[in-house]
Structure 1
Amino acid sequence: MNRHRAHSRRTVRQHLGAPCADVQLCVTELLANVVRHVGEGTPVRVRVARTDGGRTRVEVTDPDPHALPVLVCATGEDESGRGLALLDAVALRWGVERGVEGKTVWCELGEV
């Protein structure tokens, strides 16, 4: 998984052509959620694009419309549950869109 995260971060930076730590964090956390809650090897589609308003939109689509992300309050003793809290802290907004072929979890960030 660490190798995949590093590859994802490099790919996002190359795509945007600029330092983009928050965008990279969001991509890797959304991908980690798919692996953890849907399964490793699940086919995903990652989309990173600039919007007309100058924001950056990150979308991760997977085939399971039922495994929805839930923002939880992780305590110091919890071993998981912080990924969406990190995403929630750095993104301007985020959400989930369910479709017939799965779901897309997305977030929008300010200018990179």
Structure 2
Amino acid sequence: MIPSTCVVRMPWIVDFLATEKEVRVLRRGVRAQLDRWGLPHLADDAQLCVSELVANVIGHVGPGTPTTLILLPDDEFLRIEVHDPDPRALPTLMTADTESESGRGLALVTAVTDRWGVHLLAGSKVTWCELVNAPDPAVTDRDRPPPPWSTRAEAVIDLYRPTPRHPVGRLGAAHAEETAISVITDLLHWLRAHGRDADDVLDRALMRFESRAPGAGG
């Protein structure tokens, strides 16, 4: 079960049409959501990133493009993803002087984020960036709760165990692996039953996993 002391922040997902008016709405929504998550210190940089990534869609894919914004928080990073349906129009980091009226968007994103990148999918792309959620120096590693992804995964795995009272450490390596495969398989069946592309979802999940692996680059 998920400990009551651990605050689980679920992803915030917004589908919208990319317009300048919608950018203003998204900025307000981002700040309000980060306040609810207890992350107001990230609001200014997150608003800037959302503005620039959506402006990139408007400028290079086109106004009115169906777009999705996803905020994914955890104890170390706030991940921002902007999904659009054109894998050909790739964002490019350009050198812009102080007199330029355009070209500074990704330079600003680079300046305030830990890393950013683009992931190409079948018929779409994801432009993402991550803001460091700097830990409170007064909180030690011993005091810090386990990361949300670990807590959520253990809660789901509990449903698949013959004896759910046993912690993950009590499972043999092979048993734990098979349990995880069963969870993933059932999720893929669920996605297909709801009309989603399982391969596309796996690609996106692997993208997020690899971006968090030790030594992963931006």
Runs (5+) with no aligned partner, structure 1: none
- One-letter code aligned to 1:24: Q
**Which has more strand, going by share of residues?**
1
Aligned match of 1:5: 23
CA displacement at 1:30 relative to structure 2: 0.2
TM-score, scaled to structure 1: 0.92
Aligned residues: 111
Matched, 1:22 2:40: no
Aligned match of 2:127: 105
- One-letter code aligned to 2:53: L
Higher RCO (CA < 8 A, seq sep 6+): 1
Distance of 2:107 and 2:118 partners within structure 1: 15
TM-score, scaled to structure 2: 0.48
- One-letter code aligned to 1:63: P
Matched, 1:95 2:117: yes
What is the RMSD of the two structures over their aligned residues, measured on CA atoms? 1.5
**Which has more helix, going by share of residues?**
2
- Sequence identity, in percent? 48
Distance of 2:20 and 2:121 partners within structure 1: 29
C-alpha distance after superposition, 1:56-95 (max 9, x if no partner): 0000000000100100101233221000000000000000
Which structure is larger by alpha-carbon Rg, 1 or 2?
2
The alignment partner of 1:10 has SS state of helix
Does the CA contact (< 8 Å) of 2:20 and 2:55 recur in 1?
Answer: no
The alignment partner of 2:62 has SS state of coil
| Alignment counterpart, residue 62 of structure 1, candidates 72, 79, 84 | 84
CA displacement at 1:3 relative to structure 2: 3.0
